[in-house]
Chains A and B, each alone.
Chain A
Amino acid sequence: MLAAIGVESMDDLLVDIPQSLRIKSLQLPAGLSEFETMAQIGSLAARNRVFPDRLTFRGGGVYRRFIPAAVAAVTSKPEFYTAYTPYQPEASQGTLQAIYEFQTLISELTALDVANASMYDGATALAEAAMMAHIHTGRNEVLVAGYLHPEYMEVLRSFSDGRGIKVRKGTEPSSKTAAVVFQQPDFLGLLVDAASLTQAAHKAGALAVACVDPISLAILAPPGEYGADIAAGEGQQLGLTPSYGGPHVGFIACKKELVRRLPGRLVGSSTDSQGRRGFVLTLTAREQHIRRERATSNICTNHSLCALAASVYMTYMGAEGLRQVADVSFKRAHSLSERLVALPGWELAFPDRHFLNEFPMRVPKAPAVVRKLARKGILGGLDVHRWFRELKGVLTFTCTEVNDARAIDELVAVLSS
């Protein structure tokens, strides 16, 4: 090949690199065979402790759920996972149609007009939603009501800082407020009065931004029903493994008035000259590769494959399956809460508040309780005092369809001993 190029050595091709910058070699170990590589990676995996699904009662934004085998069977198809961003629509109809279906599924779930092609995660989706409100209203304050996931709060602050936006906690919007942001259910699992918060936002001329759990929407009124302008959230529960926090998938849906403010990619339907339906990336004038510094967002690569997983999951479940999963989780969590309240010194941290399948308990010697459960192979409640000073001794417990009745018995037995 060198001869075909007309040079004698590789160095002839690297002439533009100043000699002073050339390095002899990388100070890294030499390459390994696949067998040795996998042995090394496998030993790292083996140094982690895996708690069984059924004995995991910890949530806090990432949940163990039943994942149908269909999900991995689809996402492991190389035609999906090794494809590029669908810039050439004629050669990317599989990806484009899957995203179009994802947009439709998320619109249906949230009861809003339009959803985008996916975001990195729930935290960045929520932050981008708040930025949409800032652009739309021209106002510079974001009001956060209730117990928003603390890491979402941190990301919201990072995004806001860059754009000169103030983030304030409270429930009373003012004429400076661009968005009232709330999480439903909140970080502790408690239900908030989403309809009232939405009304308050609108009364002040602000947008209502709901951060929602997609499974909860099988039971709870969706943002579109109570009039929220934007819904954002984390889709991990829709068929993605915990995977130590990622990759997962964020989503954003909005009312049609806000479509041009949406960050990232959008797929629309189209036709070719023979009248065949196809799908294309559209409204790209919002995006960085066209608009550069005036783009709605800098997002380029998003989380298509995770959105595909979520689509397969939602299609597999259907509305009935999703409802059953949500109902089973709800019932088991309520059953667990009744049994935990019976333990000496244990009480619901917010006894007047409703919840679905995650709830906060005030517990004597919380750190010791968590350690004791771990010794028995149970990933117990999440100690939320780490983030909220006023919640000393509060653990949140989560139940889903993977925590069978015997697993709940085991948890309670360990706590009673």
Chain B
Amino acid sequence: MTELLSFEKSRPNAHGPRLPDAEVSTPEPGAILPPGMLRSTPPGLPRLSEPEIMRHYSRLASLNYSISEQFYPLGSCTMKYNPVANEAAAALHGFTDLHPYQDEETVQGALSLMWRLEQALCEVVGVDRVTLQPAAGAHGEWTALRMIHAFHRSRGEARTQVLVPDSAHGTNPASAALNGFEVVEVKSGPDGRISLADLDSKLSPKVAALMLTNPNTLGLFENEILDVAELVHATGAKLYYDGANLNAFMGICRPGDMGFDAVHMNLHKTFTTPHGGGGPGAGPVGVKADLAPFLPTPTVERTNGQLKLDHKRPQSIGRVRSFYGNFGMLVRAYTYIVAMGGDGLTQASMDAVLSANYLCKQVEGLLDIPHARPCMHEFVASARNLAPAGIKALDVAKGLLERDFYAPTIYFPLVVPEAIMVEPTETESKATLDAFAAAIRDIVKLAADDPAALHDAPRNLPVGRLDEVGTARRINAYLLGQSEDPILRWKGPD
């Protein structure tokens, strides 16, 4: 099943919506504004009735996999259930109808929520202050590096390099480069953990920070993390924590205690705010006291029981976005934390680790498991054992889609060939994990019996494998002026 575009369904005689009249007797814009300022032709928006619009979007919705219907074992993405109470909380009029420029005494509830969320996040990750302003994880990384940059600058030090492990998420080097840092790669050892020897050889007074995630992207805890922190700090550099994998150890251990100076969190991973098909998320950043003067403005401060926004922070890096963050997502995350409590958050991480190890055990023997130790909240398997049958990780992923599971993260981390990265999360039942393992078993059997069938998967979804190369080629033709079809947008017949 596919659905026509709203533009293709547009009917020129469809009734537009009934809207209020002006009720005042002032001239039309065209009678007041200079003609040169006016739009010459109306924008080509579709014309549809409300029933047609609702059916259009309902049909589009039915073309999606989502957490509400499918298991999403997407490594590094923490696709857990999004509690519906979060949505109800964020929809309260006392939150949705607040103007960001209302006077502070009229928004004490909102400021209190932000204050309490900051306190809770400080406790979970072991830091002194948190900014809630960044809109997403990558935005948080960039914000943290800006603070680290400002910290070194305040001490008269020009540190120009940031160290990033070869197994890091792509946002890490990009965020560093956008802060003007030179990115220097640190090698992983054979077990995917950072190589202390290689780290030591790359540390120098030029290094501003090391960016690290823990557990690493193979799902393994960096057991030498205290040594890493000591090495980094000895050179005056800062240690930055990529919080993508925080779901592994809430209430078990804390990045701040490990020696991390700046910590970003993805509220849309660890704290159950929905992913929205690619955002909005929220990427708060926690810091130790020595980085706190550099937090973005404004911060929420409390004096005599009153909360206020502090815009006068002389050493601040300034704003990283408008207003105070994705407030609606902050409401959802705080609701989750209140409902779970300290005990519930700890249990969530325990269950996430249990689920990952259980599922890893079920998959062992079907796919290669390159690292035999207990994993944390996720594990990385490899489809290289299926190579003789001509089956790749991509084929396994598409086979899973055909069996009503979303696909795991594939080909990441790069240090494992044919990587299949699985993060089951704590909100899936044992029955779901068993069903997923059964699907893998089925696919592995098919790889031996009828590999061609796997190359054709998925066959039961709205579309089959799409010609991505062809798409890029046709865009290129458009950009070179060889074609009129932009591919990146609909264009009607002229």
Contact = CB atoms under 8 A, between A and B. Distances in A.
17 contacts: A1-B354, A10-B350, A28-B342, A32-B341, A45-B92, A78-B67, A83-B64, A83-B66, A84-B72, A91-B70, A155-B322, A244-B99, A247-B327, A271-B466, A283-B475, A331-B26, A338-B26
A282 B430 contact: no
Contacts of A242: 96-100
Interface stretch (A174-182, A200-208, A297-305, A342-350): A297-305
A220 to B, nearest CB: 6
Contacts of A318: 14, 16-17, 45-48
A189 to B, nearest CB: 13
A92 B65 contact: yes
A111 interface: yes
Contact of B471 (A88, A120, A280): A280
B278 A95 contact: yes
Given A13-B353, A267-B488, A282 B475 contact: yes
A305 B279 contact: yes
B32 A49 contact: no
Given A16-B220, A90-B462, A276-B464, 4 more contacts: A70-B50, A109-B43, A295-B170, A319-B43
A376 interface: no
B42 interface: yes
Contact of A18 (B226, B335, B458): B226
Given A82-B275, A218-B43, A21 B253 contact: yes
Interface in A241-299: 241-247, 249, 256-257, 259-260, 265-274, 276-280, 282-283, 287-295, 297-299
Given A62-B100, A88-B406, A298 B61 contact: no
A242 B100 CA distance: 7
A32 B338 contact: yes
A170 to B, nearest CB: 21
B262 interface: no
A294 B173 CA distance: 8
Contacts of A157: 318
Interface residues of A, number: 198
Contacts of A316: 17, 50, 53
Given A21-B258, A123-B321, A379-B99, A94 B60 contact: yes
B112 A47 contact: yes
Interface residues of B, number: 190
A67 to B, nearest CB: 10
A410 B39 CA distance: 34
B470 A270 contact: yes
Contacts of A114: 486, 488-489
A270 B466 contact: yes
B409 to A, nearest CB: 8
A288 B170 contact: yes
Given A101-B6, A244-B98, A124 B321 contact: yes
A417 interface: no
A77 interface: yes
A48 B342 contact: no
Contact of A154 (B170, B253, B318): B318
B293 interface: no
Given A38-B88, A277-B2, A111 B43 contact: yes
A73 B54 contact: yes
B429 to A, nearest CB: 11
Given A23-B252, A120-B135, A317 B45 contact: yes
Interface in A61-82: 61-62, 64, 66, 68, 70, 73-74, 76-82
